[in-house]
A and B are shown apart, each in its own frame.
Chain A
């Protein structure tokens, strides 16, 4: 694709009619790539068992490929996936930035691979990495204490909600029953508050797309346990009234929770702790560049102000007598993970932060914000809310945003997040991150603009150049086939 000039969408048919972009597509026996079990399977009966028959199963039937067959199978599968290493991936609120390769080498160090039941004395290195990461995250968030245990952002939210509950309980205010969440927030916020046993109070946005202070004032009461807020919010807008919001929530006796999904907008510019937030989570697989791995693992460390530190999950790590030790906070909520969370993710995040330092982190946010603004300036779709930061939400107008996304795939780019937040009709939530060059942003803009010109028929037929064509979602849900066993039962 080296001959593409900037501004030409990848994959758009050139004058001779040839396509320049096509995703890999293997087809054999009428399917894209047979399941391993369709290529080779063996049913092995359990015999010569060291256990009596009544304690064992009868047999096990699984694929049994040779190693070369196995390697080809998964290599082909990998070629039928679009990743951040394949091209731009401007999924709003997901912060798909480049995952530096060296962090994989760091996590693969044999000395990193220890059992969690080791004595503290024998794993001082592991504990030091954890302690140093806690310290770095505390500085970045303006928080006094950090736990690394939550294995994902939603798990971090859950810790925040459980810590808030424990804090209120401790103060004799355990009957606070409501958590407030802006209408435009991430779905996890609502689900987390509900899992924590709270009634969810959904707050409308004002006409500028930010928290409606009057609605907030009216909703706050002695029942308020917390307000969960993302800042900049999902429209990319900074909540300018954050100090006033903090004051209002605190006056009502509630806590202010910061959803760290959009922290990549603010590195070196603002800290949740300084804005009046009491508790926050960090998405290290967003802000700190650990790979998403097709959906996880992530890590969702939680930072709190000192007043909440006694409630954090146990065990925590701290420096002691020139070394490091594990300890239980005085009023700990207990565990939220069997051990200490996703260690292999945490060590990558530590390496990333240590590599970039103050300057690199601040520059990441600067260029993330510049890239979003530049891309928005180059596309024809309307962007109704601003000024935005690291992401913007465009409207597909009369087009169906989901169709727009499918069509963008044909241009060799990953589309934005679609149809959310609902405050923008047919939303295209776009976050290019700092890692894209002007040239790539121009290609992205060209893809947006090409699709903007496409008619309904073209949109509904998209995608054409991906491995699979448009997939029937209704059939998948109406007739669930969730294993190879289910396929064979058909």
Chain B
């Protein structure tokens, strides 16, 4: 026996003959002899995992996942299941995209570098800021990175990071982990009727404030109407203004550069990914003046030896593999393939399609709110604001009971208060909205 199992990896191409030749070449009798693992820590047990054929494995996973109920999801609050055109899957699944590594050899990776350059350009156009990196993990980690950037670029001392009281637990908590190793503290400012309470914010900020975070649209689907003033208040405190948003919202709502945003973060995978149990794509854009402090990878244009334009990862001295403990971030593996999907989806829509999708996110949410409001036992929207994609509705009965009833009827909605449901139209077809209104009427 040469130590190689008959039930080996289906993806290792060795034959008995080549194995013998290879063992001869390395002057080993068995493969086990190549392992320099001391007896005391050698593992002689079994994991107890059965091997399966490909067909059996597919069947296994399918049969487990079939235990998921098939519900119409009227869910949002930061993760959205828009329809993704077939062209996105087919192009992104081309195996050169899928199976290549980070572009450390740019000469043989031009295609991916260009795709990432086009993704960065998309975000520059949407935000109006000069620099976008080619991805963070998700909106929450991008927010955390924004806080550490705020600390690095600040000339004066300061430690206070302000976030709205209306913020997802995942984002707030991730931010707190990112700043746990610094002297930054995360504090909350008040909201009024679903958006920033500007007067309260003004009173709260002081010279110790390094960053003010706001979202547009907010987690409750409201559109923030006083962004320019929030930006001015932050600037007065000499704090960075960090805006949370996404590419669909940015296709219609105010351009971040125009309202004084210093950094834009958010989930860019609203374009490119369907509902994926929270998997996302961290958007990160900022001003050129902070370029040397940007976390993550950047693709830049240069020239090759023939003088033709060529793309490459650049400014890598910011990054962990060069700068180690003095890097701007610890990120290495990012979400490049998702960024590719986002770029393809945006190009498939074109500017008209993106604007249209954004407009419909307003009109469909607001018209659904009107229809819910017309039902006995419900009032919507709760906030006297304009809405994007989603809104909060008051229900007279306990919201949990209504949501449970709706789930039995095939619909998933958020419960956000004892008598509050949150309802999102992203990716939901008109016929499904019709059916939802009927179902809601039936359970109110």
Contacts and interface: CB of A to CB of B under 8 A. Distances in A.
Contact of B303 (A65, A99, A472): A472
Interface string B397-435: 000000100010000101000000000000000000000
Nearest to B61: A106
Nearest to A65: B347
B41 interface: yes
Interface residues of A, number: 198
A364 B28 CA distance: 18
Contact of B91 (A75, A85, A196, A470): A75
Interface in A106-125: 106, 108-109, 111-119, 121-125
B334 A152 contact: yes
Given A129-B64, A355-B51, A119 B223 contact: no
A128 B253 contact: no
Interface in A136-183: 136, 139-140, 142, 151-155, 157-158, 162, 165
Contact of A115 (B79, B322, B348): B79
A85 B115 CA distance: 19
Nearest to A441: B22
A43 B354 CA distance: 12
B338 to A, nearest CB: 6
A250 interface: no
B12 interface: yes
A335 B169 CA distance: 8
A336 interface: yes
A306 interface: no
Contact of B60 (A126, A191, A354): A354
Given A122-B407, A191-B320, A358 B46 contact: yes
B61 A123 contact: no
B344 interface: yes
Given A30-B308, A342-B279, A343-B276, A374 B26 contact: yes
A483 to B, nearest CB: 4
A290 to B, nearest CB: 10
Interface stretch (A12-20, A213-221, A267-275, A450-458): A267-275
B112 interface: yes
Closest 9 CB pairs of A and B: A339-B278, A197-B181, A293-B337, A357-B51, A295-B336, A77-B111, A359-B7, A363-B8, A476-B302
Contact of A292 (B12, B102, B148, B311): B102
Contact of A158 (B8, B330, B340, B346): B330
A104 B95 CA distance: 11
A77 B68 contact: no
B104 to A, nearest CB: 8
A242 B41 contact: yes
Interface in A354-400: 354-364, 366-367, 369-371, 373-374, 377-378, 387, 389
B290 to A, nearest CB: 12
A371 B309 CA distance: 38
B34 interface: yes
Interface in A25-46: 27, 30-33, 35-37, 42-44, 46
B31 A102 contact: no
A154 B320 contact: yes
Contacts of B153: none
Contact of A294 (B23, B305, B336): B336
Given A269-B42, A472-B304, A473-B314, A108 B107 contact: no
A269 B35 contact: yes
A468 B52 CA distance: 43
Contacts, number: 661
A203 interface: no
Nearest to A195: B330
A94 B100 CA distance: 11
Contacts of A64: 350-352
Given A83-B97, A336-B177, A363-B12, A115 B275 contact: yes
Given A102-B58, A191-B330, A468-B308, A335 B140 contact: yes
A123 B69 contact: yes
A94 B104 CA distance: 12
B7 A357 contact: yes
Given A49-B252, A339-B280, 14 more contacts: A23-B108, A63-B347, A64-B351, A115-B81, A129-B61, A153-B333, A155-B141, A198-B181, A242-B41, A243-B38, A293-B337, A367-B4, A480-B315, A483-B132
Interface in A333-347: 333-345, 347
Nearest to A99: B99
Contact of B325 (A128, A200, A353, A371): A200
A21 to B, nearest CB: 11
Given A96-B101, A238-B36, A434-B12, A55 B225 contact: yes
B158 interface: no
B130 interface: yes
B121 A37 contact: yes
6 contacts: A62-B350, A115-B412, A151-B137, A187-B320, A200-B324, A480-B298
B383 interface: no
B208 interface: no
Which of A43, A78, A295, A461 has the most chain B CB atoms closer than 10 A to its own CB? A295
A296 B332 CA distance: 9
Contact of A55 (B9, B254, B305): B254
B235 interface: no
Given A36-B118, A296-B334, A338-B278, A128 B96 contact: no
Contacts of B89: 108
Interface string A60-80: 111111010011011111111
Contacts of A345: 279
A471 B101 CA distance: 18
Most chain A CB within 10 A, of B11, B23, B320, is at: B11
Interface string B325-368: 11101111111111010001011101110110001001100100
A155 B296 CA distance: 13
A437 B16 CA distance: 12
B443 interface: no
B22 A374 contact: yes
B114 interface: yes
A360 B8 contact: yes
A437 B13 contact: yes
A356 B10 contact: yes
A115 B71 CA distance: 10
B306 interface: yes
A444 interface: no
Given A335-B177, A357-B50, A117 B279 contact: no
A293 B57 contact: no
B321 A187 contact: yes
Interface in B160-206: 168-171, 173-174, 176-178, 180-182
Nearest to A60: B351
B77 interface: yes
Contact of B277 (A115, A197, A268, A387): A115
Given A296-B334, A343-B276, A238 B304 contact: no
B437 to A, nearest CB: 20
A335 B61 CA distance: 27
Interface in B82-117: 87, 89-91, 93-112, 114-117
Contact of B36 (A157, A240, A289, A467): A240
B138 interface: yes
A438 B104 CA distance: 26
Given A114-B73, A359-B5, A162 B412 contact: no
B305 A470 contact: yes
A409 interface: yes
A366 B4 CA distance: 7
A367 B9 contact: yes
Contact of A190 (B10, B37, B306, B325): B325
B237 interface: no
A298 B333 contact: yes
